[in-house]
């Protein structure tokens, strides 16, 4: 398209003019121009040097549209084949894989963002601190919720709180643009400011563990993402226990 647009702009022109206008290398321009001629978008004057001009743009619109439609169709077919290839190559074993994020910015960039790509189900046990971060950091909480809703993801959320934080958590819940479903969200009073369990599990084998800074529990020190089926099962059991202990939202 760059070459075609250049000819459309320049009128009758030579290859060197098109290269100058588009920065397309000389080694590639002649193949591009021959392709444009074969598709009926330009015509070539067989002089020395050769000269080029576009055919009537109105007449070539349908040809250009058909060309790009075919290119997109071919791209889509190739993409589907590539997806099928990746699915076949994706290992089905229960091997453990993990990586670490070392500060709050990295935690959101590398780990929290993984919730955008959940495929089936997600269970999250967070606290008031990370809830505030999810809301303040590019409104991540809303984006995750919208993603889950659009994709039909099954999810449950337990929000932990210290006694003094309860009203803030309730205010956050009640301020949501859509009223939360009580079947999806519960609250749980925390017994310790530092050692409360904060984690997310999703798609039956993926886990994110969040660790607070012991010196400043209002900050997160690190997070650990892993694929680990046995640990997922253990955390699911823990989540179910915590869910039963948590307070329903009225």
Read off the CATH number of the domain in which 48 is found. 1.10.10.10
Same domain, 53 and 159: no
Range of the domain at 45: 1-58
Cα gap 96→207, rounded to integer Å: 11
DSSP one-letter code for 55: P
Q: Which two tokens stand for residue 146?
A: 């919208």
Say if residue 118 is in the same domain as residue 224.
yes
Report if residue 81 sits inside a domain: no
In a domain? residue 242: yes
CATH code of the domain covering residue 104: 3.30.870.10
Sheet holding 154-161, edge to edge: 97-101, 220-227, 206-212, 199-202, 121-127, 154-161, 185-189, 247-248
pLDDT value of residue 92: 60
Burial (CB count within 10 angstroms: exposed 0-12, middle 13-18, buried 19+), residue 110: middle
d(CA 37, CA 100): 54
- Return the pLDDT at 195: 56
- Asked whether residue 135 falls in the same domain as residue 228, the answer is yes
Identify the pLDDT of residue 91.
57
Residue 67 forms part of a structural domain: no
Q: How many domains would you assign to the chain?
A: 2
Domain boundary among 27, 42, 58: 58
* Residue 193 located in a structural domain: yes
115 lies in the same domain as 164: yes
| CB atoms near residue 60 (< 10 Å) | 19
Q: What are the tokens at 234? A: 């253990």
Do 44 and 113 belong together in one domain? no
Kindly state whether residue 7 falls inside one of the protein's structural domains.
yes
User: Are 126 and 202 part of one and the same domain?
Assistant: yes
Domain-embedded: residue 186: yes
| Rounded Cα–Cα distance for residues 13 and 30 (Å) | 13
Is the residue at 72 inside a domain?
no
Given a cut of 70, the residues of the chain with pLDDT beneath it are 57-60, 87-95, 137-138, 192-196
Rounded distance, CA 130 to CA 141, Å? 10
pLDDT, tens digit (0-9, with 9 covering 90-100), for 49-75: 999 998 876 666 777 777 778 888 888
Task: Report pLDDT for 216.
Answer: 83
| Beta strand 51-54 pairing with 42-45 | antiparallel
Query: Cα separation of 111 and 114, whole Å?
Result: 5
Q: Are residues 211 and 114 in the same domain?
A: yes
What pLDDT does 191 receive?
A: 74
User: In what helix (H) or strand (E) does residue 42 lie, and over which residues does it extend?
Assistant: strand 42-45
Same domain, 6 and 115: no
DSSP 115: G
Query: How far apart are the C-alpha atoms of 21 and 15, rounded to whole Å?
Result: 10
Same domain (yes/no): 157, 212: yes
Residues facing 124 on adjacent strands: 157, 200
45 inside domain: yes
Residues 35 and 104 in one domain: no
What is the C-alpha separation between 111 and 123, in angstroms, rounded?
15
Is the same domain home to 22 and 131?
Answer: no
Q: How far is CA 103 from CA 81, 197, 224, 225, in A?
A: 38, 18, 11, 14
Query: Does the N-terminal peptide bond of residue 49 adopt cis geometry, omega within 30 degrees of 0?
Result: yes
Same domain, yes or no: 176 and 101 = yes
């Amino acid at each position: 398209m760059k070459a075609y647009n250049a000819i459309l702009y320049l009128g009758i022109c030579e290859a060197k003019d098109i290269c100058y206008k588009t920065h397309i290398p000389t080694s590639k321009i002649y193949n591009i121009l021959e392709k444009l001629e074969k598709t009926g978008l330009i015509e070539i004057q067989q002089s020395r040097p050769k000269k080029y001009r576009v055919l009537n743009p109105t007449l070539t619109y349908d040809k250009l549209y058909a060309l790009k439609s075919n290119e997109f169709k071919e791209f889509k077919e190739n993409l589907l084949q590539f997806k099928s290839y990746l699915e076949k190559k994706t290992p089905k074993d229960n091997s453990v894989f993990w990586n670490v994020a070392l500060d709050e910015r990295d935690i959101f960039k590398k780990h929290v963002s993984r919730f955008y790509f959940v495929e089936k189900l997600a269970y999250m046990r967070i606290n008031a601190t990370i809830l505030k971060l999810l809301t303040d950091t590019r409104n991540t909480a809303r984006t995750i919720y919208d993603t889950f809703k659009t994709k039909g993801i099954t999810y449950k959320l337990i929000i932990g709180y210290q006694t003094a934080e309860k009203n803030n958590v309730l205010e956050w819940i009640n301020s949501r643009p859509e009223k939360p479903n009580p079947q999806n969200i519960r609250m749980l009073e925390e017994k310790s400011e530092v050692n409360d369990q904060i984690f997310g599990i999703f798609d039956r084998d993926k886990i994110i563990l969040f660790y607070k800074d012991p010196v400043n529990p209002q900050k997160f020190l690190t997070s650990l993402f892993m694929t680990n089926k046995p640990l997922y099962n253990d955390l699911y059991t823990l989540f179910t226990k915590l869910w039963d202990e948590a307070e329903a939202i009225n």
